[in-house]
Amino acid sequence: MATPADNVPTRRRRKKGQGKGRAVDINALMQVRDLLGDAERRNDLLIEFLHLVQDKFGHLSSAHLVALAHDMKMSPAEVYEVATFYHHFDVVKDDAVAPPAITVRVCDSVSCELSGANELIAQLKSELGESVRIQPVPCIGRCAEAPAAVVGFNTVDKATAESVKSAVESGKLVPDNPHAHISFDQYKEKGGYKTAAKVFDGKPARADIIQLMKAGGLRGLGGAGFPVGMKWEIVSNQPGPRYMAVNIDEGEPGTFKDRFYIEQDPHRFFEGMLIAASVVDIEKIWVYTRDEYALGREILEQELAKLQADPPFELPEIELRRGAGAYICGEESAMIESIEGKRGIPRLRPPFVAQVGLFGQPTLEHNFETLYWVRDFVEKGHEWFTSEGRNDRVGLRSFSVSGRVKKPGVHFAPAGITMEDLIKEYCGGMLDGHKFYAYFPGGASGGILPASMGDIPLDFDTLQPHGCFIGSAAIVVLSDQDSAKQAALTSMRFFEHESCGQCTPCRVGTGKAAALMAKDTWNIEQLEDLAVVMEDASICGLGQAAPNPLRSVIKHFAHELKQEANS
């Protein structure tokens, strides 16, 4: 007669000495150890090691993840949660089919969508079949060359089905440098690093340089716009050791200025970085690079090695770190989590990064372009900067311009220039047959304004009264052939895709808003309720800024909604 115990599934006994969980595959372990070589098995290097495995095998198998966890003395769950957080890691579970050897990523953000990215994606899927994976992806920082695609790491600008197929057939998966950058030797021949050397020697004094930065009014150029001199002073007053984290993970749709400058003059950035490090007495620097910028990363690696081999003075320790496709890591605390080898989850504040940042130490966090201009401030004084500007604004700005203009690209123009003048004076006017209709002044999160408001000075603090902000000055120009409603929907889908999922208002709110915005008729009351919750209760700027495009449409483009409702 059966007893209740007979119906309980028996648990397989572990052999003596056998650990819990999945057994380690010896072949996978040997492969992992061969890839990692003599590298120190530090937890903060986990993402770097995941890149090594993925670059070698094209994906991350369960066997390799378990082997990596074993070799690093971490739990498989820790490794797995990091690998599955980042978009560029392809985790293949157990016997699941691995992705094809070649992946073609096609950007489908606003600028590329305007240039036919969705039609290109459909055509490539139809013509290339299953031997190549076609993957729609968020902005890849090539908005001026829309539509943009990447075959492996090889970029295809102004992509067509023919040019992408040609790139696939060539088998070339790494990028070329379309223009030679200024090398270490060339930079030194023009006086490079002499200013940083003087600062290192205390001439001028560190306190004087901080006052110079304050007087010049340079603000962070990654989006937040925090005054540079004030940030240096705050971190300088913290107990050491002090660290620095440099953010080159510019993922805001429409921005590409950092990539542009990296590929031209990397040592101008390095010198600005070293000046800041000397002033604030930084012990170690981490430079966090965007994974989409394969060429920029290669240039930085090569030129940093040359700098370290022939330093102009004693350098702090510098590490380059590679992101893995997560927009959220543009947020300073999420980037710090990623540098520490974790998921890029924004931290609750306070404490602030300047007080408790990398590995618990006070950290000076800066955007790439902010440091790019530091050398000029110290060499020339702030007058070269403060003498520029329009409409009662001061300084210069790097505008990343894309969309319906004849000359998209990075335009270095006076702060306070209007959108109308920027198009006319720097962008060669609108494309033939297109009339200026609307613009994003600060990327997907910066909101959308109509052409009738194209006379507003473009600078920090000038756009907030209109529900927008300049952020990283990522400008996307729409014409009368485009829809602000569709552009706002594309932006909200981007936020939904890039939400880290930590807080419910952002995780659920962006998805719910995108679904409502995809309908022919918008439920404006419900959308506004969602916007209020996301803005007030999200932990970081992603959820707080996500409502800006939808609110812009409701406020400035109501005629599009009325037409939809009456059709």
Residue 6 has pLDDT above 50, yes or no: no
Report the pLDDT averaged over residues 379-404.
95
- Give yes or no: residues 262 and 193 share one domain: yes
Whether the CB-CB separation of 218 and 228 falls below 8 Å is answered with: yes
Shared domain for 412 and 438, answered yes or no, is yes
**Count of CB atoms within 10 A of residue 470's CB?**
24
**Counted domains in the chain:** 5
Per-residue pLDDT at 485: 97
pLDDT of 562 strictly over 80: no
**Contact (CB, 8 A) for 465 and 450:** no
Is 386 part of any domain?
no
- The verdict on residue 429 lying in a domain is yes
pLDDT of 140 strictly over 80: yes
How many other CB atoms sit within 10 Å of the CB of residue 452? 10
Q: pLDDT value at position 8?
A: 42
Residue 13 has a pLDDT of 54
Looking at the fold, whether 83 and 109 belong to one and the same domain comes out as: no
Domain end position, chosen among 421, 449, 479 = 479
The confidence score (pLDDT) of residue 178 equals: 63
Angle between helices 558-566 and 548-556 (to 10 degrees): 80
Q: Judge whether 370 lies within some domain.
A: yes
Min mean pLDDT across 6-20, 128-142, 396-410 is at 6-20
Alpha carbons 494 and 487: distance in angstroms, whole number? 11
Do 153 and 256 have their domain in common?
Answer: no
Token representation of residue 396: 């210069």
Examine residue 25 and state whether it is found in any structural domain, yes or no. no
CB neighbours (10 Å) of residue 55?
10
Q: Which of 322, 348, 380 is the last residue of a domain?
A: 380
21 within domain boundaries: no
Q: What is the CATH number of the domain that holds 64?
A: 1.10.10.1590
User: What's the CATH number where 446 sits?
Assistant: 3.10.20.600
Q: Are residues 116 and 141 in the same domain?
A: yes
Any domain includes 433: yes
- pTM over 0.85? The answer is yes
Residue 16's H or E segment, with its range, is none
Query: Could you tell me the two tokens for 456?
Result: 């507003």
Task: Give the end of a domain, one of 455, 479, 503.
Answer: 479
In a domain, 327, yes or no: yes
Q: 211 exposed, middle or buried (CB, 10 Å; 0-12, 13-18, 19+)?
A: middle
Residue 114: give its domain's CATH number.
3.40.30.10
Residue 565 has pLDDT above 70, yes or no: no
Label residue 16 by pLDDT band (50, 70, 90): low
Q: Is there a single domain that holds both residue 523 and residue 550?
A: yes
Confidence label for 129 from pLDDT (cuts 50, 70 and 90): confident
Q: Which range among 1-5, 170-174, 178-182, 284-288 has the greatest average pLDDT?
A: 284-288
Q: Quick one: pLDDT at residue 224?
A: 86
**What are the tens digits of pLDDT across the range 59-87?**
999 999 999 999 999 999 999 999 999 99
Give the pLDDT confidence of 294-313 residue by residue, as tens digits: 999 999 999 999 999 999 99
356 lies in the same domain as 401 = no
Are 156 and 280 members of one domain? no
Report d(CA 47, CA 44) in Å as an integer.
Answer: 7
Which tens digit of pLDDT belongs to each residue from 171-193? 877 777 766 899 999 999 999 99
Name beta bridge partners: 49. none
| 196 in a structural domain | yes
* φ, ψ for residue 407, nearest 5 deg: -125, 75
pLDDT at 456 (0 to 100): 98
pLDDT for the residue 2: 46
What range defines the domain where residue 86 resides? 31-92
Residue 11's pLDDT band, with cuts at 50, 70 and 90, is very low
Q: Is 70 exceeded by the pLDDT of residue 195?
A: yes
User: What would the 3-class secondary structure string for 152-180 be?
Assistant: CCEEECCCCHHHHHHHHHHCCCCCCCCCC
pLDDT-based confidence at residue 20 (cuts at 50, 70, 90): low
For 400-416, the pLDDT digits (tens) are 999 999 999 999 999 99
Identify which has the larger pLDDT, 21 or 347: 347
Q: Which of 174-188, 229-243, 266-280 has the lowest mean pLDDT?
A: 174-188
3-state secondary structure of 532: helix
Q: Based on the domain organization, do 360 and 242 belong to the same domain?
A: yes
- Residue 420's closest CA among 434, 437, 403? 437
Q: Mean pLDDT, to the nearest integer, of 269-280?
A: 98
- 308-338 pLDDT, tens digit per residue, is 999 999 999 999 999 999 999 999 999 999 9
Q: Are residues 335 and 254 in the same domain?
A: yes
What is the tens place of the pLDDT at every residue in 462-518?
Answer: 999 999 999 999 999 999 999 999 999 999 999 999 999 999 999 999 999 999 999
Residue pLDDT, tens place only, 438-468? 999 999 999 999 999 999 999 999 999 999 9
Q: What is the C-alpha separation between 242 and 280, in angstroms, rounded?
A: 8
Please return the burial class of 418, using the count of CB atoms within 10 Å of its CB with bins 0-12, 13-18 and 19+: middle
Same domain, 475 and 489: no
pLDDT computed for residue 223 by the predictor? 85
Closest CA to 324 of 307, 341, 312, 299: 341
Q: What is the average pLDDT value for the chain, to the nearest integer?
A: 93
Q: What is the mean pLDDT of residues 507-530?
A: 96
CATH number, domain of 359, equals 3.40.50.11540
Q: What percent of the chain has pLDDT over 70?
A: 95
**So what's the pLDDT on residue 171?**
83
Q: Where residue 535 sits, what CATH number does that domain have?
A: 1.20.1440.230
Domain identity same for 248 and 361: yes
Q: What angle do CA 52, 53, 59 make, to 5 degrees?
A: 125
Using pLDDT thresholds of 50, 70 and 90, give the confidence band for residue 5: very low
What tens digit of pLDDT does each residue of 254-272 get? 999 999 999 999 999 999 9
Segment 525-551 shows an average pLDDT of 96
